[in-house]
Chain A
Amino acid sequence: MTATTVDRPAPRHAGEIKRGVVGRLVDALGSGVVQVVMVLIGLFWLVPTLGLLVVSLRDEAVNNAEGWWTVFTKPAQLTIENYSNLLATGFTASFWNTVFITVPTTVLVIGIAAMAAYAFAWIDFPGRDTLFLIVVGLLIVPIQIALIPIAALYGGLGIFGTIPGVVLFHVAFGLPFAIFLLRNFFVGIPASLLEAARMDGATEWKIFSTVVFPLGKPAIASLGIFQFLWVWNDMLIALVFANTESQPMTKALQSEMRQFGTNVDILAPGAFISVIIPLILFFAFQRYFVQGMMAGSVK
């Protein structure tokens, strides 16, 4: 509060000072209140995840007997038994399925989208603007629209229930966002760099791979993180297109939901394992994550 504005007419001045004193009091009080409110909100956001972690680290009998918050007075409850039991089951396989679905998808989306984005940004061709508007339109097409048709298609091709089928579906639905993001970044690359390369007689492929792609790294990193998390965390596509052999963790855990209450000792550690890698990525690369998100939504 800036109350001490000197060059004011007298009545106004008095009012200012009065407001200043009250204002300062309100400020001091207010900032205390704000601090408390913010701590409470922070707790509100932290507690659910903390609950999952603690529950995953306690014996089922203990979980049934008392709330997870009693762990603060009885830390001896903690055990990693649930985790070791879980890893001894087929859950490890679904972990690797998640990896085998997520990594190729991310690589493919980046490669294919970067090529398309390059064409949209730096090559003049008929219908370019219309085509790009279609990509913008496809940004929010609901996945549901493709479930039945692609299931039929996969049935015909014999890739229903396989990892490649899941990957291709993810790649296709990842492309509109990826092309949009990268194209918007690529158009900002200084034209002089491309001009110089074209003058030197470099092919378009060479310009793309040696000039534009390396310069696009920040955007590609953002896209990579985003795409990785999106695929890693997907459940719907896996639910339809993966079978029990190729299922990722989300689907494996979903099939355990029916017995919720009796198998928290499987669900809680499973859910926690499934979020560990996203959380690590998130904390390590949150800058890129935020940038990708902004670029994707502030259109």
Chain B
Amino acid sequence: MTERLNGPQGPSSDDGPPPGPSRSSDAEGSAVAGPGATPPESGTASTPQAAPEVATAGAAAPTAVATRRGRLGPSPMIAWIFLLPAALLLGVWVIYPIGYSLYRSLFDASGQSFVGLANYGTIFTDPGTLTTIRNNLIWVVVAPILVTTLGLIFAVLTERIRWATAFKLIVFMPMAVSLMAAGVIFRLVYEQDPDKGVANAILTTVRDTFSPSQGYPDARPREGDTVRAADGGVVATGQPALIPLVGIKAADMPPNAQPAKPGGSGTVWFDFTPGGGGRNGQIDGTEKGLPGMTVEAVQNGRVVATATTAEDGTFSFEGVNGPYEVRLPRSNFEAPFNGLSWLGPTLITPAIIGAFVWVWAGFAMVLIAAGLSAIPRDALEAARIDGATEWQVFRKITVPLLSPVLLVVFVTMIINTLKVFDLVFIIAPPSVQPNANVIALEMWRVSFGGGNNQGLGSALAIFLLVLVLPFMIMNIRRFRREQS
């Protein structure tokens, strides 16, 4: 079934183009004579095994074969009747527009005056369109490699798990989802607020797990205190050191903070009594410690010990002799990590490529897995018995044998990245869209989305066509090769 669908390599390979034209033309000459009996040679040769037979028959009695074929095939006129609806649609909706776009691209926005190649000049000089070209370049370089590599890794790894079918279904599922819906899905994933967007939720959780530093962005010593601000941090003297800070917003106050206590090598606390009444620089009953502060002991400009404040704000240095300065380094006063701004101008293209990979990795995986299952197991086993490591087997046998499939996936992805539109349009917020813009989107924007310049739009469409042209020629060549 699958083999059948993969037709060209199989049965059809007998009626290849090189002999084709001559064959069909000599059939044309006489086919009119007698429609409706034995079909032409493509019938006899429709199984690979039959091919040699035909060849010998042809060599032995060429004229006989030719006349037999010509006499009995259906009339070519009938072919045109079968082809007519398709030809009409393709002619009007696909082929004629290529010519029209080419023509239209030589005129200005209004379509009134001929401007020659000026629209093409605009593509390569306007900063807006140059950005789209740059972005498409990033897409073409990054996305196909990512998708193909991931597809290969997934395909190889699925062979090692029992729930491969379930895994494949999950990874393949985005293929059924519209790019529009995928865009909405990833707009939600990439929300800046870690309480909404799952990407930043994961990032902040991971980061907080590994470096649980507590940020107090607006904390500062009170003016005129013995404790002073220095180099973005805070410096204090005295042992034990009392370090009162003010200016902390309620929202930044960690929930686990306990009433401050003196003790250890010193205390860092929020010197503010809600409702008033506290004394400056003194730990009053209800004032809270500032937990999670990094505290350094500095002697002669060198950090000799570090500590972290406890829930009541106390800290203690181990093994420090002699006088030292206590320093709260700048890192304590930076805003806590809130995730990346995925939808900001810098990360927007990588973020959308991430969504693209999510959509297409399943496609790559399924194709590559099919190629993988066609590799003869004996070759792999033989290599393993000869002492090859799994990595060597993978690199020296699996990948080379898979290279035709990998190429197909890779080329398909290049074409897809050149045409990428929906994901960029949906995921990039309007304000960031100029930074994320790609050719296909710019073409729509310029012609229909408010730009109102169909001359430039046509030029962009032709530009896009020229970009996929090499792959078109490649497809045709490969098809001809497989047919002959």
Contact = CB atoms under 8 A, between A and B. Distances in A.
Interface in A132-152: 133, 135-152
B90 interface: yes
B462 A145 contact: yes
Interface in B74-121: 74, 76, 78-80, 82-83, 85-87, 89-90, 92-98, 100-101, 104
A282 interface: yes
Interface in B427-461: 429-430, 440, 443-444, 447-448, 454, 457-458, 460-461
A187 B1 contact: no
B363 A141 contact: no
B154 A278 contact: no
Contacts, number: 384
Classify chain B: how many residues form its interface, as a range: 35 or more
A138 B74 contact: no
A286 B87 CA distance: 31
Contacts of A254: 180, 425-426
A49 B173 contact: yes
A5 interface: yes
Nearest to B159: A34
A179 B86 CA distance: 9
Contact of A112 (B47, B89, B482): B89
A126 B461 contact: no
A236 B472 CA distance: 22
Nearest to A180: B479
Q: Which of A37, A125, A175, A282 has the most CB of B within 10 A?
A: A125
Contacts of A31: 160
Contacts of B176: 229, 275, 278-279, 281-282, 289
Interface string A223-250: 0000001001111100110000000001
Which residue, of A122, A123, A183, has the highest number of chain B Cβ atoms within 10 A?
A123
A171 B37 CA distance: 34
A168 B43 contact: no
A137 B90 CA distance: 12
A42 B419 CA distance: 28
B233 to A, nearest CB: 33
Contacts of B422: 235-236
Given A128-B20, A129-B24, A293-B366, A51 B188 contact: yes
Interface in B298-330: none
A71 interface: no
Closest 3 A/B residue pairs (Cβ): A191-B43, A184-B7, A172-B93
27 contacts: A34-B161, A45-B358, A45-B362, A133-B17, A133-B476, A133-B479, A140-B468, A140-B472, A141-B94, A142-B419, A148-B447, A184-B12, A187-B42, A194-B39, A198-B38, A204-B74, A257-B184, A271-B181, A271-B184, A274-B178, A286-B172, A290-B172, A292-B5, A295-B5, A295-B7, A299-B8, A299-B408
Interface of B: 1-2, 4-8, 10-12, 15, 17, 20-21, 23-25, 27-28, 31, 36-40, 42-44, 46-47, 69, 72-74, 76, 78-80, 82-83, 85-87, 89-90, 92-98, 100-101, 104, 154, 157-158, 160-161, 166-167, 169-181, 184-189, 194-196, 198, 201, 358, 361-363, 366-367, 370, 381, 384-385, 387, 405, 408-409, 412, 415, 418-419, 421-422, 425-426, 429-430, 440, 443-444, 447-448, 454, 457-458, 460-462, 464-465, 468, 471-473, 475-476, 478-480, 482
Interface of A: 1-2, 5, 12, 15-16, 19, 31, 34-35, 37-38, 41-42, 45-49, 51-52, 55, 63-69, 112-113, 115-116, 118-131, 133, 135-153, 168-169, 171-173, 175-176, 179, 181, 183-185, 187-192, 194-195, 198-199, 201-204, 208, 218-219, 222, 229, 232-236, 239-240, 250, 253-254, 257-258, 260, 264, 267-268, 271-272, 274-275, 278-279, 281-283, 286, 289-295, 297-299
